[in-house]
Amino acid sequence: MGIKITINKLLTCLFALLLTTSVSAQDKEKVKHKPSIMLGVAGLKYQGYIGSHSNLNPLLDARMGYFLSVEQRFGKVLGVELGGMYGKLAGTDNQTTTSGTVTTNYFGNFQSQVIQGQLMLTLNFDGVMKGDPNVSPFIKAGIGYMMFNSSKDSLDANGRPYIYGTDGSISAPITVTTGTPPVTTTSLVPTKRDYTYESKLKTNGQTGALVIPLMAGLDFNFGKHMTFLVGGGYNIVLSNWVDGSGKGSAGYITANVGLKYEFGKKADAVDKQYKDVDFSSVDHLDADGDGVPDDKDMCHGTPKGVKVDEKGCPLDSDGDGVPDYLDKEPNTAKGNKVDGYGVTIDEAALAQHQKDWENQAPERSKQFNVLPSKEYLKKVEEEARKNAAKNKPKGGNTVNKIPMELRSADLNHDGFITADEITKTIDNFFEGSGDFTVEKINKLIDYFFEQ
């Protein structure tokens, strides 16, 4: 009676935990799962009256079982599993106990072939763990029905009944006839068990019983579909006739290993994040609309309407390094040096430009690197904008002259590098973000003063 009350309390608490956890988890997010199939092997160890009085190795009575089940999950955690198990249960008693003047011999054995079907509520905790874990726990509980067919090993290999000694030895009777007239005598000779369970046990007419299976374990995920599972549990058998004794409570311990295959692709963290992205469209994205996909475009940000080559770069018919749409001198002679608008610069003008640059460099370096005040940078910026306005092409449209490698610093995409944009680019460099190196920052500063 006390055992039944304890079992009822245990089951009530367990199912309350299952339902509370599953409901709270399901409310957070609805996740669709395909059915999964599980196949594996189990070690089974009987816990009952027969086998509880033995000084033998407890693993002597361990037997193998095989299980197959199908699970359907609903949402992130909760699932239902329908499964079956085929295996054997066994027990052996081999002990003599003495209490006062009373000596009790416990000698007996049994083996039962069992087939069990069960319906279980499952909790899979991978749905509430961060990301897509490689290892996640699970809990299962339910109800099932077990059919059993129990027998006893009572005869040795020669068909002689076992006689147990108080010291645990086993003998068998042998009959010998000698003399004239013949005299028949019976004696005991040592023998060994052959573990052939040839004698059917009486089980009070019972061949089946309700079972309450409880289980917990770990799932080891590998690949998109496969899971390796390791678990253990206890099955409460609501009958005390499996071992033929009719005494005590009964159950068995399980240790399971197996594989689970989930039909349909399981989305990992990256898949979920980008599940709505059409990667086929992204592969052919052309942000600047020049007809060359971004993954092959060597010159991003080409102005609309500008003709480009197969690499996505603006055409430069005279090869002077200035694209046609910016070139004010379309047919520059080969080898001539040109300015930013593709106009030939003679050697004298080029030498003067270099001289002016060198003369301004020390002052510029001092002002920018020693006294880089915001007022000074703004002043340089204003002068640069005035020069840009003077050199603005006829037609009114300002073209982007910023070199391609520096254009990511043009944060507002207006074709002009401002003092604030230089400051932000340098800040990003020290924060470890952006694509600028020390060399590119120096080029950006030089361009800032040249524009």
Q: Which residue has the higher pLDDT, 224 or 195?
A: 195
Q: Within a domain: residue 9?
A: yes
Residue 125: count other Cβ atoms within 10 Å of its Cβ.
17
pLDDT confidence of 373, banded at 50, 70, 90?
Answer: low
pLDDT of residue 270: 47
pLDDT of residue 353: 61
Beta strands in 154-292 (DSSP E): 163-164, 170-178, 183-190, 199-200, 208-222, 226-237, 250-262
pLDDT of residue 141: 97
pLDDT of residue 268: 47
Q: Using the 3D structure, point to which of 248, 272, 296 is the last residue of a domain.
A: 272
Q: Within a domain: residue 279?
A: no
Q: Which residue has the higher pLDDT, 408 or 431?
A: 408
Which bin fits 413, alpha (ψ -120 to 50), beta or left (φ > 0)? left
- CA distance to 293, 378, 413, 416, 449, per residue, from 419 (Å): 33, 6, 14, 10, 10
Shared domain check, 128 and 161 = no
Specify the residue for token string 């102005």. 303
Q: Domain total for the chain?
A: 3
What is the pLDDT averaged over residues 234-247? 95
Q: Within a domain: residue 308?
A: no
Shared domain check, 65 and 173 = no
Q: Within a domain: residue 331?
A: no
pLDDT of residue 80: 96
Domain that residue 84 falls in: 2-153+202-272
pLDDT of residue 408: 84
Q: Using the 3D structure, point to which of 272, 306, 332 is the last residue of a domain.
A: 272
What CATH number corresponds to the domain at position 100?
2.40.160.20
Is the pLDDT score of 449 beyond 80?
A: no
Shared domain check, 171 and 145 = no
Q: Which residue has the higher pLDDT, 124 or 301?
A: 124
Q: How far apart are CA 80 and CA 234, in angstroms?
A: 19
Helical packing angle, 438-450 and 419-431, nearest 10°: 180
Shared domain check, 139 and 14 = yes
What is the pLDDT averaged over residues 64-72? 97
Q: Using the 3D structure, point to which of 272, 287, 306 is the last residue of a domain.
A: 272
Shared domain check, 164 and 234 = no
Closest CA to 105 of 94, 115, 116: 94
Q: Within a domain: residue 288?
A: no
Q: Within a domain: residue 147?
A: yes
Percent of the chain with pLDDT over 70: 78
